[in-house]
């Protein structure tokens, strides 16, 4: 035999098979064939096909999260940082949707099919948002009595520009305009926002 079969090699091969055949056609047998082993060997490293797919998905998401890590070192206001972060997220999503629609669709299917993965993804990004908003609260640029809740609200309010269900709208020529309008509205709200914890509003 040549070399030991590693989980890493299986993940890489699975990624390649998913790219080539798409999520609907990719089979465990294909992965094994690409590695030159029997498909029984793959089951020695991953208990089910679903677990294998989920491992690939989590790996990909972690790379996305790393790429979105906000940079606090520059001399930007919180509003500028927030706008830049949201714009970067939007640009990345838009680009991958326009440039590689099939790969985008593939990972969309993968993310959706695993319970808990979408939550994992959103919670991570909302956490990054919260850190930016928190910085704004410290400099008294933003006002809020619940940073996490507000971060979630900003995420929800900008759903149209990052939720894959809206991907088809990202090709609209006026989409950047709509993005600017929503982000400006949200930032204006952050400057004077007091979200009630249960009910009531001024």
Partner DNA sequence: GGACTGACAGATTTCAATATCTGTCAGCAG
Partner DNA sequence: CTGCTGACAGATATTGAAATCTGTCAGTCC
Quick one: which of 79, 89, 132, 133 contacts its own copies (CB under 8 A)?
79
Cα(119)–Cα(14) distance, integer angstroms:
23
Tokens of 43: 């089951």
140 φψ region: left (φ > 0), alpha (ψ -120 to 50), beta (else): left
| Residue among 7 and 184 whose Cβ is closer to its own copies | 184
Q: Is residue 75 part of the contact set for DNA (CB under 7 A)?
A: no
Interacting partner of 126 out of its own copies, DNA, none (Cβ under 5 to 8 A depending on kind): none
- Contact partner at residue 194 from DNA, its own copies, none, CB < 5 to 8 Å by partner kind: its own copies
Taking CA atoms, 187 is separated from 61, 174, 193, in Å, by 27, 20, 9
Question: Under the criterion CB under 8 A, does residue 88 sit at the interface with its own copies?
Answer: no
Q: Which does 29 bind (CB under 5 to 8 A by kind): DNA, its own copies, none?
A: DNA
Q: Which of 19, 20, 44, 191 binds DNA (CB under 7 A)?
A: 44
In angstroms and rounded to an integer, the radius of gyration of the C-alpha atoms of the chain is: 21
CB atoms within 10 A of CB 86: 22
Kindly state whether residue 100 participates in binding its own copies, applying the rule CB under 8 A.
Answer: no
Q: Return phi, psi of residue 3, to 5°.
A: -135, 165
Among 63, 127, 149, 172, binds its own copies (CB under 8 A): 149
Burial class (CB in 10 A: 0-12, 13-18, 19+), 153: buried
Smallest gap from residue 108 Cβ to DNA (A): 17
Q: Does 184 bind its own copies (CB under 8 A)?
A: yes
Binding interface with its own copies (CB under 8 A): 79, 83, 149-150, 152-154, 156-160, 163, 165-166, 177-178, 180-182, 184-196, 199, 201-202
């Amino acid at each position: 035999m040549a070399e030991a079969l590693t989980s890493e090699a299986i993940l890489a091969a699975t990624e390649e098979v998913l790219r080539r055949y798409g999520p609907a056609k990719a089979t465990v047998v294909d992965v094994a064939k690409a590695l030159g082993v029997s498909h029984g060997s793959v089951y020695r490293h991953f208990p089910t096909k679903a677990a294998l797919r989920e491992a690939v998905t989590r790996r990909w998401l972690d790379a996305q999260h790393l790429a979105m890590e906000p940079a606090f070192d520059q001399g930007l206001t919180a509003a500028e940082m927030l706008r830049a972060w949201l714009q970067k997220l939007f640009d990345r999503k838009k680009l991958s949707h326009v440039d590689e629609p099939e790969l985008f669709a593939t990972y969309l299917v993968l993310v959706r099919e695993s319970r808990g993965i979408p939550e994992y993804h959103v919670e991570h990004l909302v956490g990054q948002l919260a850190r930016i908003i928190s910085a704004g609260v410290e400099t008294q640029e933003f006002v809020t009595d619940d940073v996490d809740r507000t971060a979630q609200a900003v995420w929800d309010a900008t759903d149209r520009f990052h939720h894959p269900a809206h991907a088809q709208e990202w090709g609209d020529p006026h989409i950047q305009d709509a993005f600017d309008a929503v982000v400006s509205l949200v930032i204006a709200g952050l400057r004077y926002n007091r979200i009630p914890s249960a009910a009531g509003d001024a």
